[in-house]
Structure 1
């Protein structure tokens, strides 16, 4: 086997992609900084128990593990940065009020997160701690949509959900953990046959409510109207539907379209309230995800109201129109003060200037230069290169 081959679903980023992704990263971080979010940079590697939160089987399956040669303990390569940021908020910053944090870094998955996805994602996101109201959910959702628009991703559809609806039904039914997990799996796959069988022994109200959940998706007004008619009026359910109504109205016009899916329980063992996902016609998978996760801090001994979003810049890059690399200017290799000054001026203005090294052969297509610096009289001038 050739030693230059990479593992499956692991790819290099070549110059055009790498520069554009880096620009996207800088644009989003600048937006977050101006919105009051402070940058943190957690390590790629931690002890296993710090990263595998809430007994999540999904997280456990996605996480690479290895043995630490120093301590003998099991280490894990992060599959998600959010738990690390929650740990920083809980113990290193230990703030009592609202904390706004952001991050950007690689995460690794043992298996691809979706169709044609890489196993090394470049995750960027924001987390807001210390506020449990709908206002912080809205702030995070609006920031996510602003970030997508800023980097050029248009015509986004936003799906809203709320794990509180399913949680309330399960709690009122007093189901066993095993049955709850089976119902969760059936709802996630919208497996009506399994759902029918699993709810057969429940009372009629809960049976009807759980069976109708997979059908409660579509336009906001229509879904909410049907949900209020078909779901029991438990306080938790009413509050969840009210929050969804508020957010859908507030986001109207900020995105191409907004829908609701009450059977979308992505991250059910992780999230505690409203969840959301952005979609685009160019991707089979969600292009950005987020939601409320007030219970996550318990894993670190300090529960805090929390909501946030994250997205993979490498996936988003694929949705953007193709662009060529910025053409450069070729300059000769000379010990000339005026030439050095002109090169510095051009670079300060944002131009790419490539100095030809002595004895090298210049290939304009490889150096991406379409102009050159030429001495005309007593001044160095930029002229178009002649093929």
Structure 2
């Protein structure tokens, strides 16, 4: 990395200039407005917490992904959050532990990781999401998916699609229907994730190969999954997926990849990934899970929850690139201040001249305030 320029930003970090920053603000407000409209109350956890709390509150969140440092006051290790979801779990399990359930909470803020993921070098991202805590059923799952779709569409996303998965599929089948030794489970999961039929056979998971083909458009994929359901052990999950899809009532394109587990390390029986037209990669992910205790254990004692996280940065870039410059009204020296105030009250953005040399064109204005009101340039 070239360090000769003192103003060079570290890899994976960037400034958002006025147009992008304005788009980011609108997207975040819109997403929050949708969640608030469905009864989700916003909380604002801090950017920094004790490392132990952040790293242990949810399985699958590794402290190796977080920036860490020693707090000079407590002399304890601190960390910069890489995911807001564990913080919501902490709030729900401590300060809001006595609040009525189901508890609906939402959030929006920046998260930072030490290293980008895959082909995405970004190390700082905007994360917006909602958590429905205390309930784990079809109604909760359908509500969460529907709110996530509505929030994305309201923010400007088009061609939204949702890919369903069953994160505990291998564990469920391996227990009895398609038995695996404990040592084989991890290898079978990995080969299913990589969609490698030969690798599955080599790992002792030949019986799991048909799962690779129960993917694609939801209606046909769910029928394929039902056809290969060994002993009906997945019947309840298949019925739940069908009901969730029916409740969404065509709001987005639905697909199914039942064996997908990458990114769903802490989800339980249901997970989903969100995509949007023109946006590279996923724009969100969610599902059912159990909130871990402070020692990192979840098990049967962790409180059930269903939620989603949106990462709208790529969507923001797409929106900002397609938008024309917003109107701005130039206010000459000696302008009518009362008129300018009335115009701002109805939504105009004004830019006041500070010297005789200031002009509307120089300041990027589209209109100028004249005797009869705004005049287009």
TM over 0.5: yes
Matches within 5 A, 1:1-387: 1-53=4-56, 56=59, 59-94=62-97, 95-116=99-120, 118-172=122-176, 173=179, 175-176=181-182, 179-199=184-204, 207-233=205-231, 235=233, 237-255=234-252, 257-296=253-292, 299=296, 303-320=302-319, 322-334=322-334, 339-358=336-355, 361-362=357-358, 364-365=360-361, 367-374=363-370, 376=371, 381-385=373-377
Tell me: CA distance 1:268–1:30, structure 2 relative to 1, closer, same or farther (3 Å). closer
Summarize the Cα distance change of 1:233–1:54 in structure 2 as closer, same or farther, 3 Å threshold: farther
Structure 1 residues 106-115 or 306-315, which shifts more?
106-115
Structure 1 stretches of 5 or more lacking a match?
200-206
Is the 2:360–2:368 contact (alpha carbons within 8 Å) kept by the matching residues of 1?
no
Cα RMSD over matched residues?
2.3
- SS of corresponding position for 2:230: coil
Unmatched 5+ stretches in structure 2 = none
SS of alignment partner, residue 106 of structure 1: strand
TM-score by length of 2: 0.90
| 1: CA distance, partners of 2:329 / 2:223 | 62
Number of equivalenced pairs:
367
Hey, what's the Cα distance between the residues in 1 that align with 2:236 and 2:41?
31
SS at 1:306 equivalent: strand
Runs of 4+ in 1 over 4 A off after TM superposition: 54-58
- Displacement, 1:71? 2.4
Asked if 1 retains the 8 angstrom alpha-carbon contact of 2:283 and 2:312, the reply is no
Q: What CA distance in whole angstroms lies between the structure 2 residues aligned with 1:61 and 1:285?
A: 23
CA drift of 1:330 comes to: 1.1
Q: In 1, Cα distance between the equivalents of 2:8 and 2:88?
A: 34
Q: For residues 164-188 of structure 1, what are the alpha-carbon distances to aligned partners after superposition, in whole Å with 9 as ceiling and x for unaligned? A: 3222123333633x54333322222
TM-score normalised per structure 1: 0.87
SS in structure 2 at match of 1:294? strand
Distance 2:258 2:37 in 1: 34
Alpha-carbon spacing, 1:100–1:224, altered in 2? closer, same or farther (3 Å): same
Q: Is the 8 A contact 1:115 1:284 kept in 2?
A: no
Structure 1 stretch displaced more, 280-289 or 300-309: 300-309
C-alpha distance in structure 1 between counterparts of 2:42 and 2:291, whole Å: 23
Moved more, 82-91 or 284-293: 284-293
Give the Cα–Cα distance (whole angstroms) in 2 for the partners of residues 76 and 175 of structure 1.
Answer: 37
